[in-house]
Amino acid sequence: MGCNNQIKHNCGTILYATCTRYESEVSNNSSLTEGCLSIEETTQDIYNQLDVIDEKIDMSSLNSDCISLTEPKSILSVIQQILNKICALEDTVTSQGEIIVTLQEQVAELQSNPCS
C-alpha cells in the first residue's frame, strides 16, 4: 500500500499551499498581518511560533545549587522536583519549629527551678 492510496492523492487537481488562500484570523503572536495570506505563509508562521515556544520553554540548561535536577529537564519534571524540595523544606521547618518549642520549654523549666 503506497502513498497513492491516501486521500490527499485522490482529491483531483493538486493545489499547492502557496496557491491556497487563507481566509481566517491569525494569532496575536503572529508576525503576519491580516490580508491576502496563503496556507503556506500561515503554516510557516505557525512553525516559527512553535520554534519560539520551544526556545522559551527549553529547560535543558537550567541549573541549581540546591536542587539536583534530573534529566530530562521537562517543565513537568522541573516543577515536580521544585515542589518536592519545597515539601522537604516545609518538613524541615516544621521539625525545627518543634525542636525550638521543646528547647523553650526546657529553658523555662530551668529558669523556674534554678539550681542552688
37 and 2 within one domain: yes
**Are both 39 and 84 inside the same structural domain?**
no
**Domain region containing 10:** 1-57
Residues 51 and 70 reside in one and the same domain: no
pLDDT digits (tens, 9 = 90+) for 37-82: 999 999 999 999 999 999 999 888 888 888 888 888 889 989 999 9
- The widest CA-to-CA distance across the chain, in whole angstroms, is 107
Band of the pLDDT at 105, cuts 50, 70, 90? Answer: very high
pTM: 0.61
Domain count of the fold of the chain: 2
Peptide bond into 72 cis (omega under 30): yes
Pair 43, 67 in one domain: no
Please check whether residues 71 and 113 belong to one and the same domain: yes
A 10 A CB-CB count for 37 gives 17
Q: Where a domain ends, among 40, 57, 74?
A: 57
Find the helix or strand (DSSP H, E) in which 49 lies: helix 39-57
52 and 95 fall within a common domain: no
Q: Are residues 65 and 96 in the same domain?
A: yes
Do both 1 and 42 map to the same domain? yes
Residue 42, C-alpha cell as written in the block: 500561515
Give the containing element (helix H, strand E) for 38: strand 37-38
Residue 110, pLDDT > 80, answer yes
CA distance 102 to 109: 11
Residue 110 and residue 18: Cα distance in Å, rounded? 87
Assess whether 80 and 103 both reside in one domain.
yes
Q: Are residues 53 and 1 in the same domain?
A: yes
CB atoms within 10 A of CB 39: 16
